[in-house]
Amino acid sequence: MSHRQQIPADQRLIFALDVPDLAQARALIRTLGDHVNFYKLGLEFFLSGSYFELADELKAAGKRVFADLKLFDIPPTVGRATAQLARREVDFLTVHGNDTMLEAAVANRGDMGILAVTALTSLDQGDLDDLGFKCDVQALVLSRARRALALGCTGVISSGLEVPALRREVDDRLVAVCPGIRPVANVDEQKRTLTVADAFTAGADYIVVGRPIRDADDPAAAAAGIQKEIQRIFK
């Protein structure tokens, strides 16, 4: 049985808890209850001053925690920062760096999964051209995925649009975590998006959903609806 079949269906939804303070975070967690079992804590909440407090609370409540901090610094600093997070029993950490940065993170990860960022879902080909990348999005994603696999990373962050090619390239050896999931027509800055069903059909292991749940009239119902769709896909 592959790792993709072993992931509990109710953990495949990762909710992006992008709020500015602890009170709002706790209120959303209470609202979502059992409909969300995996939380992504990113940079916005990191600057709230309550990052580790909430991470510890979530772990104590039996939830999983994804530290989406996209570490990018000199390798010794990345290694020490990774070791700090590993002591908090965080499940996943993102690193947005080159080979030596990823090597330092992998060497200090403990039981934590290291996810290499491939290409942000807010970028399209025009953005990559502006940044000086002399290749298309898919080629960049596959290049970074190959390096992540060789360096011992657990998986990658990738748009679901590139996951079919990623699966052909590295099959099931890397976990694929896919942000930019939009259950309805998309009108925000995310450019490379997919629906829930399309992402999993493409080969995603986890999806990251933020605003479609957080900004819904009934966040719990929105999360429950996505979980129901996931259950249908993986039944």
169-202 tens-digit pLDDT? 777 889 999 987 866 544 444 444 688 998 999 8
**pLDDT at site 130:** 52
Return the minimum-mean-pLDDT range out of 14-18, 19-23, 73-77, 145-149: 145-149
Percent of the chain scored above 90 by pLDDT?
64
pTM equals 0.88
Indicate the range of 68-82, 123-137, 200-214 predicted with least confidence: 123-137
For residues 37, 8, 204, 104, the Cα torsion angle rounded to the nearest 10 degrees is 70
- In tens, the pLDDT along 88-125 reads 999 999 998 789 999 999 999 999 999 998 755 444 55
Nearest to 186 by CA among 210, 220, 217: 210
Give the CA dihedral 41, 44, 45, 49, nearest 10 degrees.
Answer: 140
> Is the distance from CB of 184 to CB of 212 less than 8 angstroms?
yes
Q: What residues are annotated to the active site? A: 70
Contact between 66 and 40 under an 8 Å Cβ cutoff? The reply is yes
Averaged pLDDT, 148-157: 92
For the chain, give every domain's residue range: 10-234
Whether the CB-CB separation of 23 and 55 falls below 8 Å is answered with no
Return the number of other C-beta atoms located less than 10 Å from residue 89's C-beta.
15
Quote the mean pLDDT of the chain: 86
Q: Work out the average pLDDT over 131-145.
A: 66
Superfamily of domain 10-234: Aldolase class I (3.20.20.70)
Gap between the Cα atoms of 160 and 205, Å rounded: 10
In the chain, the percentage of residues whose pLDDT exceeds 70 is 84
Q: What is the pLDDT of residue 189?
A: 43
pLDDT value at residue 132: 54
**Of residues 97 and 133, more confidently modeled:** 97
Q: How confident is the model at residue 15 (pLDDT cuts 50, 70, 90)?
A: very high
Would the pLDDT of 230 be above 50?
yes
Rg of the Cα atoms in the chain? 17
pLDDT band at 61 (very low <50, low <70, confident <90, very high): very high
